[in-house]
Chain A
Amino acid sequence: MNKTVLDLWVGLFVIAGIAALLFLALKVGSMNAVSASNSYEVVARFDNIGGLKPRAPIKSAGVVVGRVGDIRFDNETFEAAVTLRLDNRYAFPKDTSAAIMTSGLLGEQYVGLEAGGDSRMLKNRDQIFITQSAVVLENLIGRFMYGQAQEGAPQ
């Protein structure tokens, strides 16, 4: 085999391989939109996080504005402390509320932010005080049945 022909083929092979990698990187995958450098962290405490997982999206008005960082159990307040990593481009008022919601019936859980009316904005390491826990189906059914029993009971 001629040496230049061989070089040409190997060159084409390498270019095709790198093009495939680029295709995977740009078209198929996305760089983790919120990296540590262009985000700020806010802590929110929930009584119950349900099935929320790290890297779950944080949405406000349906738009992804960040990702869940780590989730810890706070042994002093007996609550779950969830670190929310928000994109620097989006600022939220101090009295923003956070709720854990489910997309669709079987969908993944995400954190929904509802902006408040405060003129001061959330900064790095701030805390969100108004939170709403995940809806646990068993509790809901339990409450429903308890209510039914109360209704049926003789006065």
Chain B
Amino acid sequence: MPMTCDWKNSVLKRTIENLGNRTIQGVWRIGFAARFFVAVLLHSGTAFRRFGLTIREMYFTGVLSLIIILVSGLFVGMVLGLQGYETLQIYGAEEALGILVALSLVRELGPVVAALLFASRAGSAITAEIGLMKATEQLSAMEMMAVDPIARVVAPRFWAGVISMPLLAALFSAMGIFGGYLVGVQLIGVDEGAFWSQMKSAVDFEQDILNGVIKSMVFGVAITTIALFEGYDAPPTAEGVSGATTRTVVTSSLAVLALDFVLTAFMFRGLN
């Protein structure tokens, strides 16, 4: 029968099969990632009992990210100061520059840009490290020695990322506000008193700063989970590890942006 023969080799059939296969793979990976996340949380005891392990990882994820975070924060704040001044001076509201710089940094740019930098600086390193550990069978060796790799290797990295992320975001915001101050007050000559006092009256501790910290914590959880999972799930080849590293940066950046939209919609709805 020519009909069935056509159907068996048709492009349409292969496309549909391909789609089905990808869907199943995707759902399977999401399920596996969720189980992995729960397993990390359940095995976090060691990360706190032997806090030295977590501190070691905080050095690699947090301290070594400091330079890029601080320098980027400074420049983002300086650019905000310049561009904000250009627009505000049209309306004769140069003094509101402090509000503009502080609110945009504390609410959005601080947590989000710090998280994007963190994903590319620390997330990719975590994935590459764990992926390589898996490829060289160090994780299997640990299991042979009755050492749980999730508790010993994964959980300390997870908690180090979750603790580091809010601190990095706060440093980014503080540096950015300092940059805005440098450009706005020192370079352009906006009144210093008005800059700080208007900023102070417009920025609320609970509504703006605390929500920014909560945002960065959520981003920290998302980035480290994605990075650890991609590393743990990477095919044990050189190509597999490199692919997993790329996927970590892409997926966690997209996750940060999507989560930011959702969190902003919940946190700042109805605020003026």
A residues lining the B interface (CB < 8 Å):
1, 3, 6-7, 9-10, 12-14, 16-18, 20-21, 23-25, 27-32, 53-55, 106, 108
Of B33-41, B128-136, B162-170, the one contacting chain A is B162-170
Contact status A29-B205, CB under 8 Å: yes
- Cβ of B59 < 8 Å from any Cβ of A? yes
Find the A residue at minimum CB distance from B64. Answer: A9
Q: Which residues of A contact B206 (CB under 8 A)?
A: 31-32
The 0/1 profile, CB within 8 Å of A marked 1, for residues 186-230 of chain B is: 000000000010011101111111000100000000000000000
Q: How many inter-chain residue pairs (CB < 8 Å) link A and B?
A: 86
Decide yes or no: A25 and B66 within 8 Å by CB, A1-B59, A6-B55, A53-B272 being known contacts. no
10 A-B residue pairings within 8 Å (CB atoms) = A3-B52, A9-B59, A10-B59, A13-B58, A21-B209, A24-B173, A24-B174, A28-B203, A29-B106, A53-B272
Give the 7 A-B residue pairs with the shortest CB-CB distance, closest first: A17-B167, A20-B174, A29-B203, A20-B170, A29-B205, A20-B171, A21-B170
B residues lining the A interface (CB < 8 Å):
52, 55-56, 58-59, 62-63, 66, 91, 102, 106, 164, 166-168, 170-171, 173-175, 177, 196, 199-201, 203-209, 213, 270-272
Chain A binding surface SS class:
helix
CB distance from A47 to the nearest CB of B (A): 22
CB distance from B247 to the nearest CB of A (A): 28
Contact status B62-A10, CB under 8 Å: yes
Q: Which residues of A contact B166 (CB under 8 A)?
A: 17, 21
Decide yes or no: A7 and B55 within 8 Å by CB, A18-B167, A30-B201 being known contacts. yes
In the complex, besides A24-B173, A29-B209, 19 extra interface pairs with C-beta distance below 8 angstroms are A1-B59, A6-B59, A9-B63, A14-B167, A16-B167, A17-B170, A17-B171, A18-B167, A20-B167, A20-B170, A24-B106, A24-B170, A24-B209, A27-B200, A30-B205, A31-B205, A32-B205, A54-B270, A55-B204
CB distance from B69 to the nearest CB of A (A): 10
Contact status B91-A106, CB under 8 Å: yes
Find the A residue at minimum CB distance from B172. Answer: A20
Q: Roughly how many angstroms separate A54 CA and B204 CA in the complex, as a whole number?
A: 14
CB distance from A104 to the nearest CB of B (A): 9
Q: Which residues of A contact B106 (CB under 8 A)?
A: 24, 28-29
CB distance from B56 to the nearest CB of A (A): 6
B66 touches which of A6, A13, A29 (Cβ 8 Å)? A13
Q: Which residues of B contact A29 (CB under 8 A)?
A: 102, 106, 200, 203-205, 208-209
Contact status B200-A10, CB under 8 Å: no
CB distance from B125 to the nearest CB of A (A): 15
Q: Which residues of B contact A14 (CB under 8 A)?
A: 167
A10 touches which of B58, B171, B201, B207 (Cβ 8 Å)? B58
